[in-house]
Chain A
Amino acid sequence: MASGIFTRTATGSHDQTVKRGIFMSSIATTESHTPQPDASHGEHKLGFFRTYIFSTDHKMIGLQYLFTSLFFLLIGGFLALLVRWQIGFPNTPLPILGQFLREPYVIDAIIQPAFYNMLFTMHATIMVFLVIMPLLIGAFGNFLIPLHIGAKDMAFPVLNGVSYWLYFVSGAIMLSSFFVTGGSANSGWTAYAPLSAVATYNLTQQGQSLWILGIFVNGLASIAGAINYITTILLMRAPGLGLFKMSLTVWSLFVTSVLLLLAVPVLSAAGCMLYFDLNYGTSFFLPQGGGDPLLWQHLFWFFGHPEVYIMILPAMGIVSDVLAAFARKPIFGYKAMVYAMVLIGLLGFIVWGHHMFVSGMSLVLSEWFAASTMLIAVPSAIKVFNWLGTIWGGNIRFNTPMLFALGFVSMFIIGGLSGIFLASTPVDLFVHHTYFVVAHFHYVLFGGSMFAMYSGVYFWYPKMFGKMFDETLGKIHFWLTLIFFNLTFFPMHNLGLGGMMRRIADPTVYEHLRNLQPINQFVTLAAMGLGLVQLIFFYNFFRSLLKGKPAEPNPWQATTLEWTLSHPIGHGNFQKIPTVYHGPYEYSVPGLEKDFLPQDQKLDEEETVKMTKALAAAH
């Protein structure tokens, strides 16, 4: 399967690791695949700070990303509930919390419109930059990439640690902005100029400045991480692991990293320009001084559209791995899946204008962006069909990770289909900036990215912590999440078609929306249910850390390299760098006794003959 040009072994990098002294034990020469804990680990025990705080071990950094982003998930989710409270019950005192918030944000416990604008701005900002990106890319990327490709660590372990701390600082900056004069940014996560660029328009100069600073620092973390991932994946793969033997999780993180590296600097630069407009009187985005408000939108969406795929590609990769492992089947159309991701990555850079069909930019541009947008829908469709092909003919086990992966496919289909409405320019004139759009991207980001995140956490939990989570609680979490998710977000399609605008603090001031209010109240109640059932996940997560059953090294009988290691995985991961013989999805291979073939398991002659015969017989 491996094509010659792409195959590379990584001996050079291993030498490097040895020199650094991170890899302590001498390289064993046996062909044994029994996982062994790092015997010499104890001798070089690092202190508390170097182990848990300023770690350079990719696994610990991955877990730091995981815990920090789960913390921000709670905050982002809570902000969403405040947003929903205001839409469902405008001008109704906020229960309990309303007493603790001060003026001018809240008057008589009633959320004020300016505060409402801060709530949804920060909800989106936190969810995009501090939850989904660090979870899918930071947590899974750091934890999994070296384990999946048979490397001892990332290419740049120190840079990796720095990347996490930059992310942490960006989160702290974002949170601090709630406490400055005027409050946090309130011009939306898209921060359209001139609103975001002129203090007298947005009335939150400090908050908006901190927002830009937070995005900038967050961008540094992303860029550092992306460089690390790309270098590691290209140069440090185990012998025999050609690019086309990598798992789709690693492929997705690779494509994502390239997107990050090319897209994020554009946002950082645009952010600097915005900072200057806001604080030092320049006019990059202000027409009075010769600037152009649409310049901000072009720069923002040049980042923003690849960003959409940055948030969904790793989810697609994780889900592919989980589907194959639990259907006990190879991925259907592995290469098509890889090419689809690469194509999404390439096309992702020429579709940004579809966010701007009605922005006032040239109508000819709209036509071209409409065409490229239709094109980018194709690889997503290919992936859906291949996922269906993967479970076809399987022997499907419905453990919690699989339930979330199947839920992902189902919800992603809905999110993809609603996108077709938005891609048609005349229809976009009607549904643009309505709740139809809100429904669409929550189906992709919650039904998609978040479901995949849950799938991945449940899947790799045994590998991360050496414990099993509670399967029953996991299943309850899945079904309740699926139900409440749809009760919350599906009616938003109808609200949008009814003409309900996004980002309005009080829909009841509009005659044409007043009768829709019962639907809004229903959605708010469902959202509260959705928020509450997520606590089951947090309970399960932390309870299993303390009381979970010890996990076997390979509880799901999966094939990729991380499952050959037993807990705890020492600093340096592999006693001996494994040699890879097979693709990542060799499940149910005919002629073999077990229904999975680990990537590093060399078949003896007898097995090879049996397999070849059985394969020939199958054809």
Chain B
Amino acid sequence: MAAARTDNLWWLPPVITTRGQEADKIFYFIFWLTTVVFIVTQILLIYYCVKYRYRKGKKAVYSHGNNKFEIIWTITPTLIFFGLFFWSNHVWKEFHETPPADAITIEVTAEQYGFNMRYPGPDGILGKAEDSSMSKDNKLGLDANDPAGKDDFTTYNDMTIPVGKPIHLLIRSRDVIHAFYVPVFRLYQDMVPGRTINWVWFVTTEVGNHELACNQLCGKGHYNMKAKISIVTEDEYKKWLQGFLPEPQPVVMIKQ
């Protein structure tokens, strides 16, 4: 299982995806911006309270306002907010560009209360699946006639991925809305029944074990709906894949 955090518990956990690093840059910019605004406004508030406290016989300044100030403090935040919007939007678009061709596609299908992962097998292609074909025996709605699906394999609450490789997720749900949330990835995506969300992809930067948590209220077992994410080296990943080969060697020998 994932290790408990031992770094600064009052702060963000480490970030281990390239996209997360981009998001953190914006986070830190907003953090310092808001910290400065916070300090300035709170100090002003306290300073005014002290300086303009009640004194007998004093009369307050009779002022209905100042249009110059109004214009300044309307335009300044507008410019800052729009600057922030354009930066955020630029990064948001980058996140959602088409995943690279060498990305490994993994389908994640949530249900009350667990995550089904489907890997494409040696051919690298996931077999077709339809939400309308979902049933008790065919949890993921797989198309049995699709040859690409023959070598697919599934795991439950266990996702193993190679470090440094782009991972492309196909995100689905069997029943209610769940969510795919990994804080160290800086990644959140709702998993909505009836649609396959295909725009989430990421590249991890270091090996390690982490937790995938459902972060959308999904029923009484919600609090405990989680999965293991193991980020391993490419060699280890290949070894792990071997364990799921559809037709192991001995079977072929017997046929001869």
Contact = CB atoms under 8 A, between A and B. Distances in A.
Contacts of A428: 188
A332 B73 contact: no
Interface string B90-117: 0111011000000000000000100000
B240 interface: no
A426 B49 contact: no
A510 B62 contact: no
B194 interface: yes
A203 B220 contact: yes
Interface in B119-161: 131
A503 B52 contact: no
Interface string A394-406: 1111100000001
Interface string A80-122: 0000000000000000000000000000000011101100000
B219 A391 contact: no
Given A194-B175, A382-B74, A503-B222, A388 B60 contact: no
Interface string A5-36: 00000000000000000000000000000000
B32 to A, nearest CB: 12
A392 B5 contact: no
A376 to B, nearest CB: 9
B158 to A, nearest CB: 15
B23 A427 contact: yes
A590 B37 CA distance: 34
Given A374-B85, A424-B26, A117 B220 contact: yes
Interface string A281-316: 000000110001110000000000000000000000
A331 B194 CA distance: 53
A410 B47 CA distance: 13
Nearest to A493: B10
Contacts, number: 308
B164 interface: no
Nearest to A204: B220
A505 interface: yes
A252 interface: no
Interface in B36-75: 37-38, 41-42, 44-45, 48-49, 52-55, 58-66, 69-70, 73-74
Contacts of A194: 175-177, 193
A504 interface: yes
Interface string A356-372: 00111001001100110
A505 B13 contact: no
A483 interface: no
A509 B223 contact: yes
A504 B188 contact: no
The CB with the most chain A CB atoms within 10 A, among B61, B217, B222, is that of: B217
Contacts of A332: 63-66
Contacts of B10: 494, 497-498, 519
A384 interface: yes
B84 A424 contact: yes
A195 to B, nearest CB: 4
A50 interface: no
A328 B133 CA distance: 71
Contacts of A371: 85, 89
Contacts of A497: 10-12
A587 interface: yes
A388 B45 contact: yes
A388 B69 CA distance: 12
Contact of A504 (B77, B78, B92, B222): B222
If over half of B's interface residues share one DSSP class (helix, strand or loop), that class is named, otherwise mixed; here it is mixed
Contacts of A328: 59-60
Interface residues of A, number: 103
B8 to A, nearest CB: 9
A288 B112 CA distance: 17
B70 A333 contact: yes
B217 A114 contact: no
A562 to B, nearest CB: 22
B194 A293 contact: yes
A192 B11 contact: no
A499 B12 CA distance: 8
A162 to B, nearest CB: 35
A330 interface: yes
A293 B55 contact: no
Contacts of A360: 171, 189-192, 195, 197
A409 B45 contact: yes
B241 interface: no
B2 interface: yes
B69 A389 contact: yes
A386 B66 CA distance: 10
A409 B63 CA distance: 20
Contacts of B31: 421
A539 B74 CA distance: 43
Contact of A426 (B1, B92, B181): B92
B16 to A, nearest CB: 12
A535 interface: no
A83 to B, nearest CB: 13
A395 B77 contact: no
A504 B223 contact: yes
B4 interface: yes
A330 B63 contact: yes
A332 B52 CA distance: 15
A618 B61 CA distance: 10
B104 to A, nearest CB: 21
A414 B41 CA distance: 10
B34 A395 contact: no
Contacts of B70: 333, 336, 382, 386
Given A425-B88, A430-B186, A287 B194 contact: yes
Interface in A475-532: 494, 497-499, 501-506, 509-512, 514-516, 519
Given A413-B38, A510-B226, A519-B9, A367 B89 contact: yes
Given A329-B62, A395-B52, A430-B20, A512 B210 contact: yes
Interface in A580-596: 585, 587-590, 595
9 contacts: A192-B176, A194-B193, A195-B176, A329-B61, A360-B197, A378-B74, A423-B88, A497-B12, A515-B6
Given A391-B48, A424-B88, 7 more contacts: A192-B217, A333-B65, A363-B92, A367-B93, A389-B69, A418-B34, A505-B222
Interface of B: 1-6, 9-13, 19-20, 22-23, 26-27, 30-31, 33-34, 37-38, 41-42, 44-45, 48-49, 52-55, 58-66, 69-70, 73-74, 77-78, 81-82, 84-85, 88-89, 91-93, 95-96, 112, 131, 171, 175-177, 179, 181, 183-184, 186-195, 197, 199, 210-211, 213, 215-224, 226
